[in-house]
Structure 1
């Protein structure tokens, strides 16, 4: 089969691989809609360490081609939503209620499509524990909205969950790309009051306001900490969905004693955190610093689909570059890597007929 990914660090391209096989609990799928992510391009550039001959991609809707003999809820021909995080549900880690890292082998191993196995930019891909990791595609949810639940919406909302936002809280969101936009939407749904987004792209800023941002601050207009302190003073929570390792320092400077800094950013392996003690109140500010990757599995995606079905938010509006055909994965990946000024998020529709 053909697949697109990283032949080596900084060397993206097409590759030929054996069609994958499945176990009794698993499913074999072919993609019907995919969305390249900055995590894919980040990995291609070596941001998660050296990798060779790895098919990339982790945001997909698919069609079931084959179901394992013990799979009960899915059959060939079913159209499904595929979470980017597919835990091994029998793993002991789940007894600690940690579906992010539900695997016997360590950190983030539930994020299989970006490390431990080939991803979804392929003619065929597999999903482990199909009954617990796949969701039937609802007829009353658009392809675009459904596709955005699998990572962008799930990760952005998780940033708002980690931040423990309460009614009326003031919130700063670092970055108004797709994850930041969904963090804004999540903060809005959790009842935040003032929501300040940090970013510069005009179409992202417009969508951020639609999703609930009350203010947009540009780092091109001066120090963002000074701008926000002048605008609002210290805030109840900060969500880091963009920027660099130094964004943590800025967030700590912006967060009131007793508040929370939530980071869902994908940092580089070469990054390091250096936090002066005064920014954490000499260790006595009671500011919580939380980080994490979105929980995995079918239940979470079903809940997010319920939010969409109720008309609370439409994340598919972020998909503003559209391509048709399996071979266009390469073009969509390149545009995600190059990030033209008007890009929010690309989608590739795939029709196998």
Structure 2
């Protein structure tokens, strides 16, 4: 079957891949709508851990169920389902310790397009359908469902780990699609003031629509100074890192409040080496600031709860999809768009049927 693969670091292409083999708890699916992620860009062009030769890329997908294993109870061929980007092995022993994201190995929750074949193919396997695939409620669009499988859950994860209380001041650093959904999540959790940090006009306008009270740009001066000035020198109750280079980690510590400030990171920092921890704003190790470094939450229940938020009008991530392409072949174009980031791009959706 045709599949879009990582040939070698920095090189992608189409490959005649083996057909997926059905497992007792699994399902074989056909992608209906997919979108490349910035993580796919990192996988291809940013280095990181070594990947299997001709690894099939992709982990954001809405799909049609083609076949189900003998032990699958809740899904049947013909259903259109959301496929979570984070697919833990819910039968791993570490799950019983509450280690849902790294149960059997580092990043074991993030399998698709990383340690197992991804979704950018004519067909793909989900090893455990009942615990992973998500039912899409009536009235939820393809765009909305597709945004839930990664972008919404990752942004909301960032907001959840920021320990937001009613009335808090929260800074969201990086307002690409993940940051925009972190803003939405922070608003729903009760943040009163949400300071967004970003520069691209298409994202700054959406940031205000999703709940930011103001938008700051590094082009107007040091971001930490701007935040401290606007908070009367106190800093932010919560800082959610959703984008940026290594420097943003240090900046987040700088701008978090002493004693109760929480830094929640869902950003990918590529390469090796270290992230800086500032001694002074870190209270020389005693500032009372909490740091969370989190992979997104995944699994069936998580995504179905987010889809309910759409169903009942609480959130609408559809505006994140700014571009549409048609045909599985366009996945390669879509990946390049996510790498190059045209001025008007947030996310690009590829409908695989070409219509």
Normalised-by-shorter TM-score class: over 0.9
Cα gap change, 1:47/1:168 in structure 2, threshold over 3 Å: closer, same or farther?
Answer: farther
The Cα of 1:340 is off from its aligned counterpart by 1.2
- Report what 1:173 is aligned to: 172
Stretch deviating more after TM superposition (14-23 or 44-53): 44-53
- Report what 2:341 is aligned to: 339
1:309-348 matches, cutoff 5 A: 309-348=311-350
- Report what 1:75 is aligned to: 76
Instruction: Provide the rounded CA distance (Å) in 2 between the counterparts of 1:300 and 1:98.
Output: 15
1:171-320 matches, cutoff 5 A: 171-232=170-231, 233=233, 234-257=235-258, 258-320=260-322
Instruction: Provide the rounded CA distance (Å) in 1 between the counterparts of 2:48 and 2:161.
Output: 23
SS in 1 for 2:322: strand
Stretch deviating more after TM superposition (241-250 or 149-158): 241-250
- Report what 1:57 is aligned to: 58
Please tell me the root mean square deviation across aligned C-alpha atoms, in Å: 1.3
Instruction: Provide the rounded CA distance (Å) in 2 between the counterparts of 1:352 and 1:70.
Output: 33
- Report what 2:47 is aligned to: 47
Q: Is the 8 A contact 2:173 2:198 kept in 1?
A: yes
- Report what 1:37 is aligned to: 37
- Report what 1:17 is aligned to: 17
- Report what 1:351 is aligned to: 353
Instruction: Provide the rounded CA distance (Å) in 1 between the counterparts of 2:21 and 2:239.
Output: 43
SS in 1 for 2:175: coil
The Cα of 1:271 is off from its aligned counterpart by 4.7
- Report what 2:94 is aligned to: 93
- Report what 1:66 is aligned to: 67
Instruction: Provide the rounded CA distance (Å) in 1 between the counterparts of 2:273 and 2:5.
Output: 24
The Cα of 1:245 is off from its aligned counterpart by 2.0
Q: What is the number of residues matched between the two proteins?
A: 351
The Cα of 1:352 is off from its aligned counterpart by 7.8
Q: Is the 8 A contact 1:249 1:279 kept in 2?
A: no
Stretch deviating more after TM superposition (186-195 or 272-281): 272-281
The Cα of 1:61 is off from its aligned counterpart by 0.3
SS in 1 for 2:281: helix
The Cα of 1:5 is off from its aligned counterpart by 2.6
Instruction: Provide the rounded CA distance (Å) in 2 between the counterparts of 1:271 and 1:262.
Output: 20
Stretch deviating more after TM superposition (276-285 or 257-266): 276-285
Cα gap change, 1:137/1:352 in structure 2, threshold over 3 Å: closer, same or farther?
Answer: farther
Instruction: Provide the rounded CA distance (Å) in 2 between the counterparts of 1:259 and 1:162.
Output: 12
SS in 2 for 1:12: strand
Instruction: Provide the rounded CA distance (Å) in 2 between the counterparts of 1:161 and 1:223.
Output: 27
Instruction: Provide the rounded CA distance (Å) in 1 between the counterparts of 2:195 and 2:63.
Output: 36
SS in 2 for 1:225: helix
The Cα of 1:98 is off from its aligned counterpart by 2.1
